[in-house]
Amino acid sequence: MARMYVCGITPYDVGHLGHAFTYVFFDTVRRYLEFQGFDVHHIQNITDVDDDMVRVSRERGMSIADLTEENHAIYLREMDSLNVLRPNSYPLASESMPGIIEMIGTLLAGGNAYVVDGHVMFDAATTPRFGALAGKTPQELRDGPRTDTMPNEPDHLKRDPLDFVLWQPSDAPGAAYESPWSTGRPGWHIECSTMATANLGDRIDIHGGGGDLVYPHHESEIVQSECATGAAPFVRYWMHVGTLTIDGEKMSKSLGNLVKVSELLAQGHTPDAIRLMLLGRHYREEHPWSSEELHRYEELAVRLRRALDAPGGPPDQLLVQPRRNLFMDALDADFDTPKAITVLTRIAADIERGRLHGETAIPALIELAGVLGLTLGREE
């Protein structure tokens, strides 16, 4: 079994194409692993206890639970429309409190955390590995710039700037829970560690998310998980997706510079074209948004669909098989989806030119396209 955990959405607002970039890619990872015969157990959390959830629920005069339900339903509709397979489970932070409190207690008992004014802080000095994922020393992390993924924390209560919140006082409706330290709520990082280990065990095969989560979120997950469970490494393979940008800036809810999947679909763009565009660059690269690029992939989606109706050439003793191998080689090479798309394009072109036998090449095209989550206009 392949155990995969992907950091999910914080549903204080609707999603956007940047989210789709992440989840379309990890959907492709899952599909390829299943294509290769793996049983994939895929977990994707919902961060429904969070600073932004508290703020927006107050601004909109609604409960955190209702805000979560409303925006997660929109997210599901958009991902369904892009043929993204649903994970095995969407654990909620709000439903994971007993496990979170237990893990924090374990960290305190092991000397990896300390209590101050109702807060529980992780003591970064107790682990030598902090910064290893980012390839930075602790001092480089201290000296580095603050990013928009860093939560607001009471730095004046910390022994070291690298320490981070495990628990904090809170009286916000829907985000206040009883604990041995205070009525409050967990920090962001401990939520994912608890949900990941509760659903997948102490060691995970693949952990994914956006590249902007490497520090502090994933660095913090590693050290607190390994200190709490004693199992290392916490994750065998980390996979981080590059940033989707618009006009040179990261596409994000906080900046409001969003392109929404629902809007693209309403404009007549097809799910296949959107997926092709999102997979058309290597997943680690920055991906600038371009409507012109999407139109080019719309044309490619048409060419791929058109090949299904071409007669192809005479019987060819499975000449398509080397193309299948090239497709798998591309995905085996750190999921080089652009190269895999090129292989699909060549198969389709050779079917239309009569170089490949339709009875063997068309089923291969359908199968391989399905690994990338493409339907080629067919009902699945």
Residues 219-276 pLDDT 10s = 999 999 999 999 999 999 999 999 998 887 887 766 667 899 999 999 999 999 999 9
Rounded to two decimals, the pTM is 0.95
pLDDT at 255: 65
Percent pLDDT > 90 in the chain is 88
pLDDT at 1: 94
* Tokens matching residue 161: 């700037």
Mean pLDDT over the full length of the chain: 95
Q: Under 8 Å CB-to-CB from 20, ≥6 apart: which residues?
A: 78, 79, 82, 261, 274, 278
23: nearest Cα among 90, 67, 89, 85: 85
pLDDT at 291: 92
Average pLDDT, integer, range 176-181: 98
Does residue 316 contact residue 357 with C-beta atoms inside 8 Å? yes
